[in-house]
Amino acid sequence: MAKRSIATEIDIAAAPDQVWRVLTDWPRYPEWNPFIVGLHGRRETGASLVATIHPPGGRRMTFRPRLMAFAAAQQLRWRGKLLLPGLFDGEHYFRLEALADGGTRFHHGEDFSGILLPLIGGALLDNTRSGFVLMNQALKRRCEALASQAPA
């Protein structure tokens, strides 16, 4: 079975718990997130979510992934599929790494697999990577702006 991965990261001058608060405040995504424009569901492992993404240069897509991990200030991971498992599956992740200076390294990626991957791949994955980078930059701006407003 074909497999491909996208992995991105960005350093954010805000503590992991601050980044986590922004990352898990899903109702506010439309205010700042250019890639995941909607995310709804219970914030607990095993929950079914409704996610709407808008890849750069692409059209909005809504899908229903299952939340695989939800560990406060550490990791958020979900798995989605196209129609049936094994056709085109993706496991999307966000991982927060505490830095020595008090900031956070935000890891954002997705592992894709499935028999349709060679047919779907290419431009879709390139647009998805671009969307991840745009989201990372927007998350950094939002977290750092909120951190600068916090009382010392």
As given in the structure block, the two tokens for residue 94 are 């966000």
pLDDT at 152: 58
Domain of residue 33, residue span: 3-149
What is the average per-residue pLDDT within 36-43?
97
CATH of the domain at 105: 3.30.530.20
The DSSP output letter for 85 is T
As given in the structure block, the two tokens for residue 113 are 């697999």
Q: How large is the greatest C-alpha to C-alpha distance in the chain, in angstroms?
A: 53
* Domains contained in the chain, number: 1
Residue range 76-127, pLDDT digits in tens: 999 998 877 788 899 999 999 999 999 999 999 999 999 888 887 677 788 9
CA torsion sign for 66, 69, 71, 76 is: negative
Question: What is the distance between the terminal CA atoms of the chain, rounded to a whole angstrom?
Answer: 52
State the pTM of this model: 0.93
In angstroms, the Cα distances linking 57 to 2, 46, 54, 137 are 25, 32, 8, 18
pLDDT at 111: 95
Q: Which amino acid is at 133?
A: V
The DSSP output letter for 72 is T
